[in-house]
Structure 1
């Protein structure tokens, strides 16, 4: 009965010549989002307990408003209405990330055509390149999951590892083979000027250090970069659903990133979801729902991806198989917020400049 009366009232208003598009206003216009903060997991609640990647954003930014997000693992989106900043938790792994980003891009409640996407999450770190608690803005994202693989006990003696590119038969096949089913999905170069812009505005940020981090770093005496205090840097990331570790796998990851970036990239961090973020946004950009030039990825080091000298990978895994036990977890989640949040706020509050102009 109420709906019938509303329709009748709309007709009367329109008939009097003072209609203002009642039918068009029956469904609210989508919110124009300026920045989407992407995280991958939360350990418990969004507030008040041990923080994962998302909690600092909810509490500190803050992201006070909630939207239901059915069909996603976390089930809730968070929003700052003043800055038009939306935060999500994708769930861990590339499948969860692809599903969450696709669901968001198709959600009629949000206009993402000019939105910047900033992934701020923890990662493993290459001890040859950086230390625990450090933060790295990625220039390149390389797919570490799509490959041919021969067990290391059966590879030819002159191979560095058992990985070859799909449709390739040797590890360093040149020219790189065209990939029929995932063309273009092996490596993404993020907009260089945007990455550099973010780095220049955050490189002087002081990152947290403490006795526990220092003690863990001390074991890596053969790795000069691992001994340094946490800092902000530029460093590329490899993305794979397999949580690998060890010196041999680290050498493979370094080679794989170099191979797929024409020797321009350097493997600094390793995580799961980044390639799926790039893949999903690239596809949605083709439909005009997002702009694939507006992606930033910040990974902060919660653990080394290989043990120090004289420690086996199996021993290392036993000590850090769960997020809660990662030696740099608290420092890394804090660093992710400290470094990414000024960029989020800058983009969102100077929207007159950055809506149309991408740095």
Structure 2
């Protein structure tokens, strides 16, 4: 195996209908060889000519962790030199980018391992009710070393290489997405046509939304990355995926330094000015405004990296690009 494409969901069939995260890769990369995978959420699909394997993990960190671990321990596959491309849609912070934009992560931060107090009982001087497990509250500035899986640092040289390679890729866009962008007055990055950037991922099993939660997400990523990370995309799986790949690396079954995380915005993480969070979230739940554009742009950006890895395989098999 040379490349593993990690997607999280498919909408309907694996081909021929409305595309979820997996379908575009299956069709365009000719992942036609079906490999039964009863220990996971979804069967695997493979192209023996290119060496690309596609997996659909299922939504959420529990499913992603179990699926990736099951794949890595499967004796049918040798993944020691494989590159892993997590390619999925995400919420995107309008302070940093627009829907349809694609962000390469340098950090994957977990948003679930925490203490929580209900919003109706938060002390008046607290910014929110979420705080680290070994702290006394969100205002406790004590420095602490992550040891429960709070943050995973990806290979920064590989992430930078992927960004440099794709920063000028022409991305998909359309009038409907432009109309959504136009509502974000006062957010210049949110009003830009889709673009490629570097920005970090926060994964949580809760689909959160709103200005206050967005502030928490930015603070949380800064806290766990020691101020080095910048929250850009929200999703549900990366901490599970990365934890499994960490363990597989320890077992000599994978190489976590060959993992890339690419997320494209399908919706904003907070509402446009003049709209409350509950109404905004209800509207997005009718169908993410940037879903189609985001899925297309994941393929356009991710494919450039895959093509380069495969074209240089005699070299990239042995040495990670930087």
TM-score past 0.5 threshold: yes
Give the alignment's TM-score, normalised by structure 1: 0.87
Contact 2:3 2:84 in 1 (8 A): yes
Rounded to whole Å, the distance in 2 between the matches of 1:344 and 1:136 is 16
Shift of 1:175: 3.4
Contact 2:126 2:139 in 1 (8 A): no
Rounded to whole Å, the distance in 2 between the matches of 1:264 and 1:248 is 22
Matched, 1:134 2:98: no
- Classify the secondary structure of the residue corresponding to 1:293: helix
Contact 1:165 1:173 in 2 (8 A): no
Gaps in structure 2 of 5+ consecutive residues: none
Q: How does 1:135-150 map to 2 (within 5 A)?
A: 135-150=102-117
- Classify the secondary structure of the residue corresponding to 2:256: coil
Q: Which residue of structure 2 aligns with residue 50 of structure 1?
A: 18
Q: Which residue of structure 1 aligns with residue 152 of structure 2?
A: 188
Q: Which is higher, the Rg of structure 1 or of structure 2?
A: 1
Q: Which residue of structure 1 aligns with residue 214 of structure 2?
A: 250
Q: Which residue of structure 1 aligns with residue 6 of structure 2?
A: 38
Gaps in structure 1 of 5+ consecutive residues: 1-32
- Deviation above 4 Å: which 4+ runs of structure 1? none
Shift of 1:158: 1.9
Rounded to whole Å, the distance in 1 between the matches of 2:8 and 2:145 is 31
Rounded to whole Å, the distance in 2 between the matches of 1:86 and 1:274 is 19
Give the alignment's TM-score, normalised by structure 2: 0.97
Contact 2:5 2:86 in 1 (8 A): yes
How many residue pairs were aligned? 321
Shift of 1:65: 1.3
Rounded to whole Å, the distance in 2 between the matches of 1:277 and 1:72 is 13
- Classify the secondary structure of the residue corresponding to 2:202: strand
- Classify the secondary structure of the residue corresponding to 2:143: coil
Structure 2 residue aligned with 1:168, among 131, 135, 151? 135
Contact 1:79 1:87 in 2 (8 A): yes
- Classify the secondary structure of the residue corresponding to 2:262: strand
Residues 114-166 of structure 1: per-residue CA shift (max 9 Å, x gap): 11111000000011110010000001111101101112222222221111101
Matched, 1:291 2:255: yes
Residues 315-343 of structure 1: per-residue CA shift (max 9 Å, x gap): 11221225xx1000000000011100121
Q: Which residue of structure 2 aligns with residue 109 of structure 1?
A: 76
Q: How does 1:197-276 map to 2 (within 5 A)?
A: 197-276=161-240
Rounded to whole Å, the distance in 1 between the matches of 2:67 and 2:156 is 26
What's the C-alpha RMSD, in Å, of the aligned pairs? 1.2
Rounded to whole Å, the distance in 2 between the matches of 1:318 and 1:134 is 22
Rounded to whole Å, the distance in 2 between the matches of 1:99 and 1:172 is 34
- Classify the secondary structure of the residue corresponding to 2:6: strand
Rounded to whole Å, the distance in 1 between the matches of 2:256 and 2:28 is 28
- Classify the secondary structure of the residue corresponding to 2:119: coil
Q: Which residue of structure 1 aligns with residue 303 of structure 2?
A: 341
Rounded to whole Å, the distance in 2 between the matches of 1:174 and 1:352 is 48
Shift of 1:172: 4.2
Structure 2 residue aligned with 1:350, among 304, 312, 318? 312
Rounded to whole Å, the distance in 2 between the matches of 1:118 and 1:170 is 36
Contact 1:205 1:232 in 2 (8 A): yes
